[in-house]
Amino acid sequence: MERVCFVLKVKPDRIEEYRRRHQCVWQEMLDALRESGWHNYSLFLRPDGLLVGYLETPDFERARQAMATREINRRWQAEMREFFEGLDGRNPDEGFERLEEIFHLD
């Protein structure tokens, strides 16, 4: 299982709204993530807007591609794009800065 950690930066003036949006993620989006191989997916948000994401998947590139083909993902990404800094026109799921895993206990 591949472990993936990434960061993005939420705009400071959008943090509270970003939190609210994730209290009610669309069921169709949740289903699509699971079906596409995104397991144990979590988001963590620092008060200054640093967003850290973590997931486990058999193949991250295949999981990303599977999500990229879904209309629900296109709609979600279009709505979420406005919340982030530094995407340069990309969707949030294309603008991840993936972190290198350097240690794992197990």
Which residues are known catalytic residues?
A: 22
Phi, psi of 27 (to 5 degrees): -60, -40
Please name the amino acid found at residue 13. D
Q: Which residue has the tokens 């794009």?
A: 81
Cα 94 from Cα 98, distance rounded (Å): 11
What Cα–Cα distance (Å) separates residue 74 from each residue in 3, 13, 58, 79? 24, 24, 23, 9
Cα 4 from Cα 56, distance rounded (Å): 6
